[in-house]
Structure 1
Amino acid sequence: MTEERDLIVHLPEEYAKSGKRYPVLYLLDGKRHLYHSVLATQLLNKAKKIPELIIVAISNKENMRERDLNTESEKFTLFLRSEVMTYVNKNYRTTGSNILFGHSLAGFYTVDLLANHPETFESYIAASPPLQGDDITLYNKIMADSSVYKTEKKTLYLTLASKEEEGDDVASAMSNFVTLLSKEYPEGFDWHYQPLDGQTHITTSYLTLFHGITYVFKN
């Protein structure tokens, strides 16, 4: 991309001494989610629930969030794949196991990327994604690319607050998407939907990251 974009890379405490390679957690809306993601992953690692992670927070370009995550998302995907991930893999000791986290519109982008370019990440964590108008299309794309899931393990973790918090259209779309997946999904596709009743649209991001990253590494 012909734009400057900030990346914040948080390394495990023993990174310089360990010589080990690490999985990478990529955060959309990175500056908003970096702090709680660092705390969550450190706590979960100490509890032996997850390995240590490299965390890459991708900042937004001012007033360009809708463009990057929706109207021109293919350009952002090209930037993510060819520039950000290439840079991280070249400059840091990575395992090749990559996880994407997104909330709200970034959550929609996360599910959309899985449907259209599932090979990009191994795991996808989406908090409160507004799937309305796209739920059936996204499901059909996942089913059409089912051969990918047989050769590479893919994980999707989804959450949503109540219908009262998220709105009727968002809740109905998620319900339909989950119903379709419950009836049939590709072999090798590990997915889980967790309703978060009692939370708000904003607070789902915290619990989704915490429980989602635990789910990704449950085995």
Structure 2
Amino acid sequence: MVKSKYLIIIFLLIWSTGLQSSEITIGKRRTIVSEVLGEKREYWVSLPASFQEDGYKKYPVLYFFDADLNSFFHVFTGMVRQMSSDATPIIPEMIVVGIVSQERVRDSSPTKSLIEYGGQRNEALNVSGGAEQFLKFLNRELVAEINQEYPTSGYQILAGYSFTGLPVIQSLYSSPEMFNAYIAIDPSMWWDEQVMLKRYTEFLRGKPLDKRRLFVATSERVTGVYPKENYVAEFIELLNSRPKAGLYVDSVIYGGEENHHTMPVISFYRALRSLFDGYMLDDQARFRSAIDIINPVAL
């Protein structure tokens, strides 16, 4: 009888271990108590396949907003993993940090405004105007925690889509030393009478940047409601016609085949390709010797 009990226990342990090993984990939920915001904030972390505790490798870090929106965390972490692990990787392995949008309107808006998309007044927007405070939390607390907990290389990327594209632009304007590269996918440049578009002139008057990169995406599709103008396209035109010293800009304006809701995934892919342009060796490089790759003239 006792032997049977032991056999049952062993069977249950093996069975439970089998269940655990069958799980596919793409990241971990973490929380941080923010003194800047006076609240707990949730963020999700995905580590590279080569990550090991006490390992020697250090990684760039990609921070993006809206981790909990439209399965972005699943899509973006999977994309980073695939693009960095193929036979000829396109980008380096990265630590990916998705920030959960607990107070999206407050944290994303650079100014207070009660005019919503469509041009109507909405009293619920009274909480707006907290982007600068949110960026303080990001810069002083979250980035510091990630750098303390994980082996980071010092190269940092900030990405946002739609309304969360606004703090990406604001971060570039106000604290460009914090991130090396910025991704703004169809940012809401219409906000508060195009306030971030108007602030570009002030940004130009500032000191030159130190090798920063910006990728911006939008579409030619414009709705029949306010705003009827594509202010992201105007922003791209400004970036190109009045370039900021030290800022490398790449952009895409899709035609009618894409709209605001279909462009995030393809834009994220194009942005990573752009930011790490030149990272990938040609496909035949893996069949050549290291000497040939170092001295291509000899070929």
TM-score, structure 1 as length reference? 0.90
Could you tell me which of 64, 70, 89 is aligned with 1:27?
Answer: 64
1:15 and 2:73 matched:
no
1:102 aligns with 2:138: no
**Alignment correspondent of 1:140:** 201
Contact 1:159/1:194 (CA < 8 Å) preserved in 2?
A: yes
> Deviation of residue 21 (structure 1)?
0.2
Question: Residues 167 and 189 from structure 1, CA distance in 2 versus in 1: closer, same or farther, beyond 3 angstroms?
Answer: farther
Give the partner amino acid of 1:142: F
1:59 aligns with 2:100: yes
Q: Quote the residue 1:130 is aligned against.
A: 188
1:49 pairs with 2:108: no
Structure 1 residue aligned with 2:77: 38
Cα offset, 1:116, TM superposition: 1.8
Secondary structure of the residue that 1:191 maps to in structure 2?
Answer: strand
Max Rg structure: 2
SS at 1:31's partner residue?
coil
* Corresponding residue SS for 1:20: coil
Question: Does the 8 A contact of 1:130 with 1:170 survive in 2?
Answer: no
Between the two proteins, the alignment pairs up a number of residues equal to 214
Mapped to 2, the partners of 1:159 and 1:86 lie a distance apart of 29
Structure 1 runs of 4+ aligned residues shifted over 4 Å read 165-168
Q: 1:167 to 1:40 in 2, by over 3 A?
A: farther
Tell me, in whole angstroms, the C-alpha distance in 1 between the residues paired with 2:81 and 2:229: 32
Q: Does 1:208 align with 2:273?
A: no
Structure-1 residue corresponding to 2:122: none
- Inter-partner Cα distance in structure 1 for 2:196 and 2:134: 21
1:185 aligns with 2:243: yes
Q: What pairs with 1:108-123 in structure 2 (closer than 5 Å)?
A: 108-123=166-181
Give the Cα–Cα distance (whole angstroms) in 2 for the partners of residues 131 and 52 of structure 1.
31
CA separation in 1, counterparts of 2:161 and 2:91?
Answer: 21
Q: Which amino acid aligns with 2:93?
A: E
- Tell me the secondary structure at the aligned position of residue 234 of structure 2: helix
One-letter identity of the residue aligned with 1:14:
S
The residue type paired with residue 8 of structure 1 is W
Indicate how the Cα distance of structure 1 residues 166 and 156 shifts in structure 2: closer, same or farther if over 3 A, else same: farther
Query: Contact between 1:135 and 1:177, CA under 8 Å: does it hold in 2?
Result: no
Q: Distance in 2 between matches of 1:93 and 1:112?
A: 27
Matches of 2:133 and 2:196 in 1, distance apart?
Answer: 22
Once the two structures are TM-superposed, the CA of residue 170 in structure 1 deviates from its matched residue by 6.6
1:3 equivalenced with 2:46 (yes/no):
no
Structure 1 unaligned residues grouped into runs of 5+: none
Counterpart CA distance in 1 for 2:276 and 2:229 is 27
Q: Is the 1:44–1:214 Cα contact (8 Å) retained in structure 2?
A: no
Cα deviation for residue 167 of structure 1 reads: 6.2
Please give the alpha-carbon distance, in whole angstroms, between the structure 1 residues aligned to 2:268 and 2:195.
Answer: 23
SS at match of 2:144: helix
Q: TM-score, normalised by structure 2?
A: 0.67
Residue 218 (str. 1) matches residue 255 (str. 2) = no
CA RMSD of the aligned region, Å?
A: 1.9
Q: CA, structure 1 residues 212+41, in 2 after alignment: closer, same or farther (shift >3 Å)?
A: same
